[in-house]
Amino acid sequence: MKAIVFYGIEDLRYEPDWAEPRPLRAGEARIATAWCGICGTDLEDLREGAIIPIDKPHPESGRMAPLVIGHEYSGVVVDVAPDVTNVKPGDRVAMECIRYCGHCEFCKRGEFASCVYQVSIGQHDDGGMAEYFNIPAYDCIKIPDEMPLDIASLAEPLAVMVRAARKGRVSLGDIVTVVGAGTIGLFGIAAARVAGASKVISIAHGGYRAEVAKLMGANHVLNSKVDGWLEEFMDLTEGRGSDVVFDCGGNIPAIRQAVELARRHGRIVITTVIDKDVPLSAMDIMYNEKEIIGSVAHQHDREFKWAVQYLADGRVNPEPMITDRVYIEDAVSNGFERLVEDRNQIKILVTPNKDELK
């Protein structure tokens, strides 16, 4: 089958004859992929290594590179193990990407996203950027007939920020500031709106992303490279700072800025995947009683299910973020490489099915 395979840093290949997935295990479904988005962490894996194991197998999946990349997928169920009851062949589904153990302390509490032994399908095991892949059936959420499969593939990144909004306890009337305007930042704007923010301020660096920030629901878009932006920000927050700040910038200065922009008693939600120490003002955090909150992932029965709902009922329209749709054969150069080179690209979706491109 056709697949995009991650071999290691700076080594991603289109494979026209990759082996089909192993036979289904209990509880699994086989999916014919419709769409699979390219994620910022996929690019991090390619640039310097991030999540996909390169030098030793993942302790739970037993897998390491080379493996099929892609964890933001949608598709059609083509087969299920005999014990599966929630989906059947022919069902159109959006899919959460976490396989959890079911018996650790966190799973017992229903906190599957925090499972100590979790496996991300597309990062720790073969993912969705291929014609077929296997996934736990509980991760499959059926979508309404009228919901397009390309839109459904965006439920995963939206769910990241639905969780961030929940963890940051965004409440009716809050002013929410979102630092960064990539996919995650743009969905942060949308999630803040859904959660009832009265005002959403996007901190972007101009260009197309700033335009899309408005389309995703930002009331104000400030360019932190332009003099006077901080004065404007303080005016917009009546001199106090923001009730909640989402850090979606993907770098150390953005994290520092997110903490600085929070008001006294404000909450900062860190969503950046970055394996580095970040210097912060302990005085600012202590004196102003700011709360710094981490947020990672999402789970099939909470944020992911809600994200599918928000996309299905139109509360979140991700269309402005989809800057291209490409066939799997062209995904390396026309997808991954282009996302690195062209800042006007935001979300590129890949399909192994030419019919989807029509």
Please give the Cα distance from 29 to 89 (Å, whole number).
Answer: 9
Q: How far is the CB of 100 from Zn ion (least distance, A)?
A: 5
Q: Please say whether the beta carbons of 202 and 182 come within 8 A.
A: no
Q: How far is the CB of 176 from Zn ion (least distance, A)?
A: 21
Q: How far is the CB of 39 from Zn ion (least distance, A)?
A: 3
Q: How far is the CB of 114 from Zn ion (least distance, A)?
A: 8
Q: How far is the CB of 156 from Zn ion (least distance, A)?
A: 6
Please give the Cα distance from 294 to 119 (Å, whole number).
Answer: 19
- Helices then strands, counting H and E runs in the chain, come out as 12, 18
Nearer to Zn ion, 183 or 242 (CB): 183
Nearer to Zn ion, 73 or 233 (CB): 73
Nearer to Zn ion, 19 or 116 (CB): 116
Q: Which residues pair with 94 in a beta bridge?
A: 74, 141
Q: How far is the CB of 69 from Zn ion (least distance, A)?
A: 11
**What is the identity of the amino acid at 210?**
A
Nearer to Zn ion, 38 or 221 (CB): 38
Nearer to Zn ion, 157 or 168 (CB): 157
For the chain, how many residues are written? Answer: 358
Q: Please say whether the beta carbons of 4 and 350 come within 8 A.
A: yes
Nearer to Zn ion, 69 or 137 (CB): 69
Please give the Cα distance from 159 to 229 (Å, whole number).
Answer: 30
Nearer to Zn ion, 100 or 336 (CB): 100
Q: How far is the CB of 117 from Zn ion (least distance, A)?
A: 5
- 89 HSE (CA, 13 A, CB side): 5
Q: How far is the CB of 49 from Zn ion (least distance, A)?
A: 16
Query: For residue 143, which of 259, 276, 304 has the smallest C-alpha distance?
Result: 304
Q: Binding residues for Zn ion, per CB under 5 A?
A: 39, 100-101, 104, 107, 115
Nearer to Zn ion, 89 or 102 (CB): 102
Q: Please say whether the beta carbons of 332 and 340 come within 8 A.
A: no
Which stretches within the chain are classed as H helix?
40-48, 105-108, 149-152, 155-167, 183-194, 207-215, 229-236, 252-261, 282-287, 303-312, 331, 338-341
Task: Supply angle C-alpha 132, 53, 48, rounded to 5.
Answer: 110
Nearer to Zn ion, 100 or 138 (CB): 100
Task: Supply angle C-alpha 138, 157, 317, rounded to 5.
Answer: 105
Q: How far is the CB of 102 from Zn ion (least distance, A)?
A: 6
Nearer to Zn ion, 67 or 221 (CB): 67
Q: How far is the CB of 42 from Zn ion (least distance, A)?
A: 7
Q: Which residues pair with 125 in a beta bridge?
A: 121
From residue 335, how far is each of 165, 214, 277 by CA, in Å? 29, 25, 31
Query: For residue 303, which of 142, 198, 124, 161 has the smallest C-alpha distance?
Result: 161
